[in-house]
Amino acid sequence: MGETREVMGIREASEYLGVSRETLYKYVYAERVPGFKLGNRWKFKKTVLDRWMERQSTQVERRAGRRARASHR
């Protein structure tokens, strides 16, 4: 894949996140993924998506750790 731009459209962002455009639209309308509208088009900042993905992965790791500790009791 080529260089990822700082501000991406729906197509570039869906490729970057590894989801379909349809899924990304659903997530954005449900406010599950950070994005903003510029005119009538959704835009996504790479740095914001990177921070969001880092928070998401940290939350998943914490939940997995709590489940593992709970199962050992």
- Give residue 5's pLDDT: 85
Q: Which amino acid is at 14?
A: S
CA distance linking residue 52 with residue 46, whole number of Å: 10
> Nearest to residue 49, comparing CAs of 1, 4, 3?
4
Report field, pTM of the whole predicted structure over 0.85: no
Question: pLDDT of 12-35, one tens digit each?
Answer: 999 999 999 999 999 999 999 999
